[in-house]
Chain A
């Protein structure tokens, strides 16, 4: 800009040809969105979630919240320099036997970093083969060097399933501990008593795929105010 002329940063754009200006602005928009999502590049989606699974999950989450309440009553709104995320993580089914099912939930590094888990719930759909109570043991495990799995310190939870339907489990502290240890994968083992006929976890029916619904808050790096 000439020495005395008043300079405006965006006026440089006006000097560009429309095509070049558009390319500059699109590149700026991409860079701005990726940096605010803390993504090094746009994700390559290899297995998008089916519409059925997504709609079922959203219906379950809203059914879980009393009508008219805010998504997370009582939780303070994000402050300056904080950004809130709502995450739906669908299970990857690992090795299964007639008595147990292994599920993995993956969380990306961007979220696993300096993130505070405000709420996290595990949703499981059971198809009960016969009337009566069906005890199920749920434990969180992590892989051990022998290739097997070792239960997490958080112990295990027993559920009594009586009829078909969804069951939920609060996994907020478990995921927070996982992130604190720098982990990104939540592994869950479900064990049923075979002799009583196991309530099948409907993992193969896509719209009943197990999932974790979480609310997290990350601190966005911002300029430190100099005093």
Chain B
């Protein structure tokens, strides 16, 4: 996948870090110190459908489908996460118990065009 930089307009991953101390959550979240809430942004013009972050054969297949069908008939391609990982949290719950859990699919590692 591609990380957004400057004024990139096509599909890429935008990094955004939420520091728990800055938002006053460091008293109940013991670990980690923050959350990488990255997100996908950017356009997916039709010739980009299926890349990056996916196998190039998929990209070729998509392009062939578009050529075979009327390009206007093809639906828009969207910039979506193609690789995600869990957010591991160690926190106090409402009874001051200490809880550790992994929340699946919370951190976006790569983006791509559907």
Interface residues of A (CB under 8 A from B): 6-11, 13-14, 25-26, 28-30, 32-33, 36-37, 39, 42-49, 54, 83-90, 106-108, 110-111
Contact = CB atoms under 8 A, between A and B. Distances in A.
B41 A8 contact: yes
A59 B77 CA distance: 51
B98 A6 contact: no
A28 B37 contact: yes
A84 B92 CA distance: 16
Given A13-B41, A45-B96, A90-B96, 14 more contacts: A7-B76, A8-B79, A10-B14, A10-B41, A25-B37, A33-B89, A39-B93, A44-B94, A45-B92, A47-B96, A87-B97, A87-B98, A108-B95, A111-B99
Contacts of A110: 93
Contacts, number: 110
Interface string B73-114: 000111100000001010111111111111110100000000
B96 A49 contact: yes
Contact of A85 (B27, B95, B101): B101
Interface string B6-41: 000001001010100001010110000001010111
Nearest to A35: B103
A171 to B, nearest CB: 14
* 8 A-B pairs closest in CB distance: A10-B41, A106-B95, A88-B98, A86-B100, A29-B18, A89-B97, A36-B103, A43-B94
Contacts of A44: 28, 94
| Main SS at interface, chain A | mixed
Contacts of B77: 6
B50 interface: no
Interface of B: 11, 14, 16, 18, 23, 25, 27-28, 35, 37, 39-45, 76-79, 87, 89, 91-104, 106
A78 B35 CA distance: 22
27 contacts: A6-B43, A6-B76, A6-B77, A7-B76, A8-B41, A10-B39, A10-B42, A13-B39, A13-B41, A14-B41, A29-B18, A32-B106, A33-B87, A36-B103, A43-B28, A43-B94, A45-B27, A45-B28, A48-B27, A48-B92, A49-B98, A84-B102, A86-B101, A87-B98, A88-B97, A89-B97, A106-B95
A48 B95 CA distance: 10
Given A37-B103, A45-B28, A26 B79 contact: no
A85 B99 contact: yes
A37 B101 contact: yes
B66 to A, nearest CB: 14
A74 B110 CA distance: 33
B108 to A, nearest CB: 11
A74 to B, nearest CB: 19
A30 B37 CA distance: 10
A88 to B, nearest CB: 4
B29 to A, nearest CB: 8
A106 B95 CA distance: 6
Contact of A6 (B14, B35, B44, B87): B44
A14 B76 CA distance: 20
